[in-house]
Amino acid sequence: MTRIVHCAACAKFNLGLQVLEKLNDGYHKIRTVYQSIALRDLLTFEEADSLSLFCSDPNLPSGDENLVMRAAKEMTGFLSLPPRGARISLTKRIPVQAGLGGGSTDAAVTLLGLNELWGLGLSPRDLLPVAARLGSDVPFFLFGGTALGVGHGEEVYPLPDAPQTFILVIPGEEGMSTSEAYRRIDERLTAVERENRILPIVEAVVRGSLNVEDLFNDFEEVQTRNTRWDSILRRYSAPGGNAKFLMAGSGSAMVLLLREKAEAERALRSIRDRGGRAVLTRTLTRHDYWELTQPERE
């Protein structure tokens, strides 16, 4: 009987994202706090003689340009495994080029799914070196929940779970690659000596007293805002309110954070009544993240 494994790949946004100096390797040094959310792609792995990928989004490549295929090949090469096959199916629900980590979470979960399919018996920590070779935020998706990221973002330190928050994800009017977003970072944002704005967020998470007003994202300085919905969403995130309008990662999606589900549902209706697109989801604890991400055999 053919072995089949199913996995969910959950998205993320950044509670704080501070961009520092550009390093000699061409990458920027950053400080960030990652946060998992329940919005997710679905992946299926089936035994096969060779590697192949089917993606539900026809605009995405299915060859080596796709991080899923790169992850599969990197896994066999880095671990010195004999050539192995898998028929991989990817159902996309996370918007692409949005700053939500869609490609990175798919890559990390591919490592987990193939580990299960091929019976390798590796732990998520065993897979960290492979994940780091695939992208700066791929290692985070082998932790999930709330976590501090430093270096390029690949050095990940789990934090206590931040309070549950309801999230309205508003896709950008135009996608933007991570490399293009970083290209737009100017010298003012990447000065070497800058106040550590991530530390207060980390301390608040540890204390259990996170205030949405402390959240920020440096990419809002250089990204094109989703201005069509600004007036609607800012009504819910006025100063002193219990909400925050924030860019997701390097953009181009925006997220509206609200503690009350009813308020998030009202904001969702406001956008949809005006012909807009948005998705209502929520933050995940680390336990919730692994409940969703854990590979399941058919």
**Catalytically annotated residues:** 12, 137
Alpha helices per DSSP H over the chain: 67-78, 102-117, 128-134, 178-183, 198-207, 230-234, 261-273, 286-293
> Of 93, 134, 94, nearest to 110 (Cα)?
134
Give the chain's length: 298
Give the C-alpha separation, 60 to 63, whole Å.
9
Structure tokens at 278: 């948005």
Give the C-alpha separation, 89 to 233, whole Å.
35
Q: Tell me the helix, strand and coil percentages in the chain, rounded to 5.
A: 30, 30, 40
